Structures are given as C-alpha cells and as structure tokens.
Amino acid sequence: MNDQPEHITPPDVGDLSLKSQDGDANRGLCISSADLLGDVGVATILHQGQRYQLRQTKAGKLILTK
C-alpha cells in the first residue's frame, strides 16, 4: 500500500497575480483557503522534504500541523 498522498491538479482559480489588493507586488501568491482546501477541507503541503497538513476547524480557523 502506498503512503504517498494523491497528487492532484489544483482547481482553476483564475488570475493568481502576485500583486496584492493594496498594490504591493512583494507579498507573494494569494489564494483563497476555499480554493486551497477544496471540498475535503484539508491540504497537504510539502516543505523542505517535510509534510504539513493545513485544515479548517469547525470554527473556521486554519490549523497547520506537521
């Protein structure tokens, strides 16, 4: 059995311009949590070889765990 998470193509979220709403182009990528978490409400993030899980709580807060 494979422990690797399924790699999926992210949903089409339109223009992911690096410019923020206040015009600052140095803030990085901006994506809504709904687009990132999808219908499941969980996203696995790979960072420097480590896996992190980003999920939304019932209260609507985001939790990032290793």
Expressed as residue numbers, the domain containing 61 is 39-65
Q: What is the pTM (predicted TM-score) of this model?
A: 0.59
Specify the DSSP class assigned to residue 18.
S
Q: Provide the pLDDT for residue 28.
A: 76
CA 22 to chain CA centroid, Å, is 22
Residue 11: inside a domain: no
Instruction: Return the bridge partners of 45, or none.
Output: 52
Residue 1: inside a domain: no
Number of domains into which the chain is organized: 1
pLDDT (tens, 9 = 90+) of the chain, 66 residues, equals 455 555 655 555 555 554 555 555 556 778 899 999 998 899 999 999 999 999 999 999 999 999
Nearest in space to 26 (alpha carbons), one of 13, 17, 38, 36: 17
> Residue 59 in 3-state DSSP?
coil
Residue 17: inside a domain: no
Residue 45: inside a domain: yes
Q: What distance separates the 2 farthest-apart alpha carbons in the chain?
A: 47
